Structure 1
Amino acid sequence: MAPPDSPRWPLATELSGTENGKRTTDALPATYHYHEKAGKRAVGDPAEDTLAFLQRELSLGGLAGLMKHLWFAGAERPAMPLHSYVAMGREIVVLDRMDMHLLWANDGRLFVKPVPRFLLSPDFCQSNLQCPDGCTCGDPPANACRGVPRKVALGFLYTYACLISSETDFHVANEKRLLPRREDDQPIEWARWKTLARELLRMHEHDPGALHPRFRRAELRLSRLNTISRLTSIPLFNPYFRGRYNYGSLFRDNLAWMATTTVFVAVVLTAMQVGLATERLRGDATFQQASYGFTVFAILGPMGAFALVILYALFHLVKDLPSLLGARRKRTATGRAVSSAEPKTPA
C-alpha cells in the first residue's frame, strides 16, 4: 500500500502583491546568515538552495530540544493582540529569528519576528513547503521532508492571526514593520489580511495538528527558558539566549539584586537587634539561635553570592578564550599577509 500524500499548503490568499509571471524565488530575501559550525558564521544565497534556506529560516533552534519543558516558561494560550502589549508597556523588538518569536524578557522587551514575504506567497509555499509524493513525514524526517518547516510556518502565521485581530493591531504592525509591504512600498490591504486570518483560524479549529506544538504556547518567558537550558542542556549552565555581551553588564546586573538583598538583610538584622534589646526576647533561647544563624548568613551570604558571580564570569571567560585567541591569530595572520603583499617603496 502506497504511503499517503502529504497535506498541501492550506492557504490560498495572496498578500505579497507579486505580479504574474514573476519567479517564486523573488519573494526570498537577498541573503541569509547561518552557522556552518560552532562559532563560524556564513552568509548564503537563499535562491541557490531554497530547501536549506527554509530549514534554517523556519528552524526553532535550541527551542526544539526544550519542548517538553515549555510548560515552565509559558501557559498554553493564544497570543494577545498587539495593542495589548503596547498598553502593558512592552517594548516590541524586531528580531528575525524564529526561535525568539514571542519571547519576553524581564526588562519589558517582547521579541517578535516579522512575517517574511515568501510566507505570504501561496505559489512559493506550495512549491517549497510541499513534501514530495510518498513522503510519510516520519520521525526522524527524511532529508527531503518538509513537514516540520511547514508546521512551523503555519504555527507562526497563526500567531499573527492572533496578534493582528483589529485595525488597531494592523496599524501597530505596519508601524513596527512586522508585515511586508507591497512592491509599490504600500501596506497590504486590511481586507486581504482579514481573509488570511480567518483562513488560519478555521485551519486551527479543524486541524490543530497542522501547526507546530511550540505555538500552542504563544508567549514564553526568556528568563525561565534560560533556567531550563542551564539545567537540561549539554554543556550545562549555558543560557538559551545570552543577553549580555560584556562582563561589565554581567556584574552590573548581578550587583543590583545583591544590593537589594543586602538592604533586606540589613533591615532584618536591625529588627533583631531591637528585639534583643527587649526583656521578653533577650532571654528567649529560640530567638537567640535564630539571631545567631541569620547573623552568620548575613556575613557569609553576600560573600558567597559575589564569589559565585566571579566564578560564573571566569567560567564564560575560559569557555570563550579559545575562540577569542583563534580570532586574534586569524587577524594577525591576515595583517601579516596584507603587509607582505604591499609593494616596497624604494629608498
Structure 2
Amino acid sequence: MGAAPHFRPDPVSPVRAPPFPPEHELVTGKSTGTLPGYPHLSLGDRPQLWAFLSSELWATDLEAMAPRLWWMSKPDSANISALHRQIIKRRAIVITEDPRLHLVWIDNRIFIKPLPRYLLSHTFWSHHLCAEASDADERRARLTCAALGYLRSFRYLIRYESDLRIAQDPNLCLVPAGVSWGQFSRFSSDLASIVDDDVSPRYYFGEIRLTRLNFYAPFLLGKSNYQRVEYQYASYFARSYAPLLFVIGVTSVILAALQVAVAVDQDQVKSGRVMASLGLWLSVTVMVVFCSLFFGLAILLVYKIAKEWHYAIRHRRRLLKPVP
C-alpha cells in the first residue's frame, strides 16, 4: 500500500496528467461534445456536468465516515478480492450505480459500480478532470481524487483474464464488452502508479461490511442506518429469529432444569432417594452445560471483537508511525 496516508482536511490539487497514456485508453472515437456513455449530457454545460459527476463519483457518506472507517475495515486499499475470488466466497455480484455502495458487502452479496465509459477516455481526463484549475476549485479536486480511487479499484477486481470475462458478462457489464484482455492489461498496469495520496479518503480502504456501516451510521452520520437491504417486514424480522430462538431455547432448558431440581423431594422414602438424587444431579448438570455453552459463545464473540479491534489499533498505529 506504500506510505501511510493521512486524512486531508482539504482536497489536494488535481493531478496534471491522466492516469494512463492516450494509446492505452479503452474508449476511442471522435468527440461528439457529449459525455461518453451519456449522450444526453453536453460537455459544454459545466454546471450540469459537474453535478452529474459528483453524484456518480463522490460517496458523500463514506467520505464523511472515512476518518473512522478503520473501525470497520482493514486500512488497506488493496483489500479487494478479484471477481473470481468473489465467486469462490459465494458472493453474488450486485450492480449498483450508487458510489456509496461500491465495494460494500453483506452476507453473500457484494455491490459493484460498473466502470463508466468516460473514465476510460484519455480525452475526458485531460480536458476535464486533469485540466488546469485554480486552487479554489475544490469540487474538481475532490472528484479527481474520487475518480482515481474508483478507477484503481478495478485493478484489483480484474487481475486475470477470467475476471475480465466475468466483468463482461451481459448480466453485469462492469466494463465495455469490446475490451480485450491485452487492452485491459496495459490499461491496468498504468493504474499501479496511483497511490493513496492521490485518491479520496474512502479509497484508502477496500471492501467494507455493510453490517458495520449500518451499526455505526447512527453515531457517525446521525442516520438510523447506512443502507437498508430488507424492504419487507417479514425479511427484516426474520434476521432476528435465529438468535432470538437460540436464547429462548437455552432459557427454557435452564428453567426446566431448575423446575426439576426444585421439585425433587429430598424427604422421599428411602427406596426413592437414589432416583431423586439422580434427578437432582441430572438437572444441575443440564443447567451447567447450557450455561457454559451460552457464556462460552458470549466470550467467543467478545474475544473475536476484541481481536479485531486490537488488530485495527495496532495496524493504525503502524501506519501513522513516522517514517525515519
User: Are 1:63 and 2:31 an aligned pair?
Assistant: no
Give the whole-Å Cα distance in 1 for the aligned partners of 2:197 and 2:146: 11
Give the whole-Å Cα distance in 1 for the aligned partners of 2:70 and 2:279: 46
How many Å apart are 1:85 and its aligned residue?
A: 1.0
Secondary structure of the residue aligned to 2:69 is: helix
Contact 1:170/1:190 (<8 A) preserved: yes
Give the whole-Å Cα distance in 2 for the aligned partners of 1:149 and 1:218: 18
Provide, for residues 225-265 of structure 1, a one-character-per-residue CA deviation record: whole Å limited to 9, x for no partner: 0011023322x5x1000112233332333334322332233
Letter in 2 for 1:130: C
Contact 1:24/1:124 (<8 A) preserved: no
User: Structure 2: which 5+ runs fail to align?
Assistant: 1-11, 265-275, 292-324
Change (3 A) 1:30 1:253: farther
Give the whole-Å Cα distance in 2 for the aligned partners of 1:6 and 1:252: 47
Secondary structure of the residue aligned to 2:194 is: helix
Contact 2:217/2:226 (<8 A) preserved: yes
Letter in 1 for 2:98: R
Give the whole-Å Cα distance in 2 for the aligned partners of 1:24 and 1:214: 31
Secondary structure of the residue aligned to 1:159 is: helix
Contact 2:26/2:187 (<8 A) preserved: no
Change (3 A) 1:246 1:5: closer
**Aligned residue for 1:228?**
216
Change (3 A) 1:58 1:26: closer
| TM norm structure 2 | 0.69
**Aligned residue for 2:85?**
84
Change (3 A) 1:28 1:261: same
Letter in 2 for 1:87: I
What is the RMSD of the two structures over their aligned residues, measured on CA atoms?
3.0
**Aligned residue for 1:212?**
200
The 5 Å alignment of 1:127-142 reads: 127-130=127-130, 132-135=132-135, 141=138
How many Å apart are 1:187 and its aligned residue?
A: 2.5
Give the whole-Å Cα distance in 1 for the aligned partners of 2:70 and 2:247: 29
Of 220, 228, 236, the residue aligned with 1:250 is 236
The 5 Å alignment of 1:136-285 reads: 141=138, 145-175=139-169, 176-181=171-176, 186-204=177-195, 208-234=196-222, 236=223, 238-270=224-256, 272=258
The 5 Å alignment of 1:11-90 reads: 11-13=20-22, 14-19=24-29, 21-23=30-32, 25-29=34-38, 45=41, 48=45, 49-77=48-76, 78=78, 79-90=80-91
| TM norm structure 1 | 0.65
Change (3 A) 1:133 1:268: same
Secondary structure of the residue aligned to 2:75 is: coil
Question: How many residues matched?
Answer: 254
How many Å apart are 1:18 and its aligned residue?
A: 2.7
Contact 2:13/2:141 (<8 A) preserved: no
Secondary structure of the residue aligned to 2:225 is: coil
How many Å apart are 1:115 and its aligned residue?
A: 0.4
Provide, for residues 295-340 of structure 1, a one-character-per-residue CA deviation record: whole Å limited to 9, x for no partner: xxxxxxxxxxxxxxxxxxxxxxxxxxxxxxxxxxxxxxxxxxxxxx
User: Structure 1: which 5+ runs fail to align?
Assistant: 32-44, 295-347
How many Å apart are 1:273 and its aligned residue?
A: 5.1
How many Å apart are 1:54 and its aligned residue?
A: 0.8
Contact 2:57/2:147 (<8 A) preserved: yes
How many Å apart are 1:281 and its aligned residue?
A: 11
Contact 2:35/2:42 (<8 A) preserved: no
Q: Of the two structures, which has the highest relative contact order with CA contacts closer than 8 Å and spacing of 6 or more? A: 2
Give the whole-Å Cα distance in 2 for the aligned partners of 1:28 and 1:53: 13
Percent of aligned positions with the same letter in both sequences? 25
